[in-house]
Amino acid sequence: MSDVETSDRYRYFLPITTRWMDNDAYGHINNVTYYSYFDTVANHYLIHEGGLDIVSSPIIGLVVESRCSYKAPLAYPDRLRAGLRVDKLGNRSVTYGIGIFKEGEEQAAAHGYFVHVFVDRQSRKAVHMPERMRDALARISVG
């Protein structure tokens, strides 16, 4: 993972609205909140582009690994955008690259990755992801 992440390295963007509760006692967005932003942009893409029905899809993605590097502080009421790309696409898993950008900035304030493994909703055993979902992920792949 590069030490500097710029917006041109991402293929999909989602505006993120910060909330008062995102700030911590130190006056900036708490580190754990960034992971909710990561989850939000990836699942938004899967729902709107990959056909994921979070209530009834028989195949769901579980996060099995994640990492975030923090480069610059952000705070409520900053306006953000989350950038998403696919760094590695398999048949049963995907590694997303994600950057969090302050509105108007081209360099990420935070960036990282997480890995989804696709499983049967009931058995939780790894399965091949649906074709529509894999095709959608392939469209934002940089790997």
Residue 1 lies in a domain: no
The H or E element containing residue 137 is: helix 131-139
CATH of the domain at 16: 3.10.129.10
User: What is the structure's pLDDT at 2?
Assistant: 53
Domain count within the chain: 1
Task: Tell me the pTM.
Answer: 0.94
Residue 2 lies in a domain: no
Residue 37 lies in a domain: yes
State pLDDT tens for residues 84-133: 999 999 999 999 999 999 999 999 999 999 999 999 999 999 999 999 99
Residue 42 lies in a domain: yes
DSSP 126: B
SS3 110: strand
